[in-house]
Amino acid sequence: MIKNIASNSSESHEDFRINQIRTIDIHEDIAGFRKAAYKVFKELPVPSNKTKVWRKAPLEEFKLDKFDLENISPINKAAANNLFNQFRKEGLSGSAFISSSGRNVILNPDLKNQGVILCDLITAEKEYPQLITEFMGKIVPPSEDKYSALTHAFCQTGLLLYLPKGIGLEKPIYSLFWEEGENRLVVPYILILIDEGASATFIQQWAGLGAKKSSNLNCGIVEIQINKGGSLDYIDMQSWGDSWINILHEKVRLLEKGNINWFIYAEGSQYSKTFIKAELGGRQSSANLTGVYLPTSNHQMDFDTYQDHLAPYSKSDLLFKGVVANQGKAVWSGMIKVAPNAEKVDAYQVNRNLTMCGEPNVDSIPGLEILADDVRCSHGVSIGEIDPDQIFYLKSRGISEKESRRLISEGFIQSALIRISNKDIQTMLTARVHAKLANLFC
C-alpha cells in the first residue's frame, strides 16, 4: 500500500523551523518510519557548542530557518558533466548522477541479470521497499542527533546499491551527488548492502555550487552493511563549494570477516562536519579508515571518527592526515571503544597535521575506552610546521623554497594516499591532491 505524507508549514522548534516538508508517494512502512523520524526530530534538542561533538561548530551559521527544502535550482550541466566524466572514461560497472533536479543511473546489464541493484532512492522505495524498510535507520538511527532525524524524515534524493551473495565487481561504481542554488537545504540518503562474500569498489563524490554570499546546507546519511566475508573499498570525496555547509553521518556495520577500506578526501567547504563510524560486530571483521583533508582560506573541516569493536579478533586501523594553510581550520576527534569480552582486538588511530603559512587552526583529540583485557590499542597525534632543516637541505640542492614546501607536503600526504587499493583511483586522486597542494601556499 502506498501512502502520502502531507505537507506542513511553519513548524518551529526552538531555533529550527522547517518551512516546507516535501510530499512523496511511498510504501506505508517507509511512511511510518519517516513520520516517526519527524517526531524524533521535533523532540531532540538543538545542538549546542557546550557539547563535545559540536564545540567547534559555527552553529549560528546553519539554523534551519535559513534554508529551503524545495528551492530547487537548475544545474550547471557543463560543470557537472566535467566532474562526472573524470571516472567514466576509465570504465565502470555502474554510475549514478543524482541531484534534486534529476537523476541518471546506469548499471552494466550483465550485473543486473546477476541480481545487482543500483538505483536512485525514489525507484528503490517503489521497487525494493523490503530492503529500505529492513535497513533504513538501523545503522544510523534518527535518534543519533537532530540532523540525522531531519535526514531520515525528509530525505529527498538518494541511492541504493545491493550486491548479492558471492558477486565481485571487477570495475568500480561511481556516484556523483551534485547540488546548486541559494539557501538550499539538501537531505540525501545512501544505502549500501554487501551480501556474504561479495565485493566492490564504490566511489561517492559530493559536490556543489552556489552564490558566493549565500549559504546552502547538505545534511546527509550513508548507511553501509557488510555481511560475512564481504568486502568494500569505499572512496568518499567531498568537494563542496565555498557556499556549502556539510553535515554528514556515515556508518558501516561489519559482520564476521567483513572488511572495509574506507578513504575520505575533503577539499573544503564553508564548514563540514563528518561523522565516520565503523561498527565491528563480527569476529575477524576489519576496517581501514584513511582521511586526507586540505582546508585553506576560511574553510573549516571537522571529523568525528569512531571505531566500535563489539567482537573478538576484530581489527581497525585509522590514519587521518591534513595540510592546513592560511585561515583554514581542522578538527579531528577520534574514539576507539572495545566492548566487554571483545578479546584479541587490535585497534590503532593516528592523526597527523602539517600547518603551512598564515594562521591555520588545528585541534586533534584522540580517545580510548577499553572494557576488555586482552587487547592491543594505541593512538598518536602530531601538529607541526615543516622542519626548517628540510627546507635548507632542498634549497642547497637548487630547489626553490616554494617548490621545497610543495615536495615536503606531497611526501607528508603520500603515506595516506597509498592506502587506496585501486591503483587507477590512487593515481587520479594523487594528481588531484598534488594540484591542490600547489595552491595552498601564501
Q: Are 264 and 290 in contact (CB under 8 A)?
A: yes
Average pLDDT for 109-121: 96
- Per-residue pLDDT for 441 more than 80? no
Highest mean pLDDT among 28-42, 167-181, 275-289, 382-396: 275-289
Segments forming the whole domain that contains residue 40: 2-280
pLDDT of residue 21: 46
Number of domains in the chain: 1
424 is a domain residue: no
120 is a domain residue: yes
6 is a domain residue: yes
Handedness of CA 44, 47, 51, 54 (dihedral sign): positive
307 is a domain residue: no
List the alpha helices (DSSP H) in 17-128: 28-43, 77-88, 109-113, 121-127
- What's the pLDDT band for 4 if we cut at 50, 70, 90? very low
d(CA 406, CA 195): 43
225 is a domain residue: yes
Higher pLDDT, 403 or 350: 350
Q: What percent of the chain has pLDDT over 90?
A: 64
Q: Which of 44-58, 166-180, 260-274, 334-348 has the lowest mean pLDDT?
A: 44-58
User: Exposed, middle or buried, 40 (CB in 10 Å: 0-12/13-18/19+)?
Assistant: buried
Cell readout for 260 is 572495509
Question: How many CB atoms neighbour CB 61 within 10 A?
Answer: 13
- Per-residue pLDDT for 1 more than 80? no
- What's the pLDDT band for 184 if we cut at 50, 70, 90? confident
The angle subtended at Cα 420 by Cα 218 and Cα 160, nearest 5°, is 45
pLDDT of residue 90: 65
- Per-residue pLDDT for 194 more than 60? yes
Q: Is 152 left (phi over 0), alpha (psi -120 to 50) or beta?
A: alpha
For 240-269, what is each residue's pLDDT tens digit?
A: 888 899 999 999 999 999 999 999 999 878
Looking up cell 556523483, which residue turns up?
Answer: 176
How do beta strands 158-163 and 117-120 pair? Answer: antiparallel
- What's the pLDDT band for 89 if we cut at 50, 70, 90? low
415 is a domain residue: no
Q: Which of 61-65, 192-196, 216-220, 346-350 has the lowest mean pLDDT?
A: 61-65
- Per-residue pLDDT for 359 more than 70? yes
SS3 content of the chain, % helix, strand, coil (to 5): 25, 40, 35
Distances (CA, A) of 76 to 62, 68, 179, 190: 25, 20, 9, 23
User: Exposed, middle or buried, 9 (CB in 10 Å: 0-12/13-18/19+)?
Assistant: exposed
For 367-379, what is each residue's pLDDT tens digit?
A: 999 999 999 999 9
d(CA 260, CA 316): 10
pLDDT of residue 12: 41
pLDDT of residue 6: 38
For residue 69, report the phi and psi dihedrals to the nearest 5 degrees. -70, -30
User: Exposed, middle or buried, 130 (CB in 10 Å: 0-12/13-18/19+)?
Assistant: exposed
Higher pLDDT, 8 or 141: 141
- What's the pLDDT band for 316 if we cut at 50, 70, 90? very high
Distances (CA, A) of 181 to 77, 188, 238, 241, 297: 13, 15, 17, 11, 22
For 49-88, what is each residue's pLDDT tens digit?
A: 888 889 888 888 888 878 877 667 677 777 777 777 777 6
pLDDT of residue 211: 65
The residue ranges of DSSP E strands in 359-408, in sequence order, are: 361-365, 368-370, 376-384
Q: Half-sphere exposure (CA, 13 Å, Cβ side) for 168?
A: 5
For 218-240, what is each residue's pLDDT tens digit?
A: 999 999 999 999 999 999 999 88
- Per-residue pLDDT for 190 more than 90? yes
Q: Which of 307, 323, 244, 331 is nearest to 53 (CA)?
A: 331
Distances (CA, A) of 48 to 59, 63, 150: 8, 12, 17
pTM equals 0.93
Q: Which of 248-252, 273-277, 297-301 has the lowest mean pLDDT?
A: 297-301
Average pLDDT for 307-314: 98
Looking up cell 594562521, which residue turns up?
Answer: 359
For residue 346, report the phi and psi dihedrals to the nearest 5 degrees. -125, 110
Question: How many CB atoms neighbour CB 395 within 10 A?
Answer: 13
Q: Which residues contact 367 (CB under 8 A, 6 or more apart)?
A: 333, 334, 335, 336, 379
Higher pLDDT, 2 or 8: 8
329 is a domain residue: no
28 is a domain residue: yes
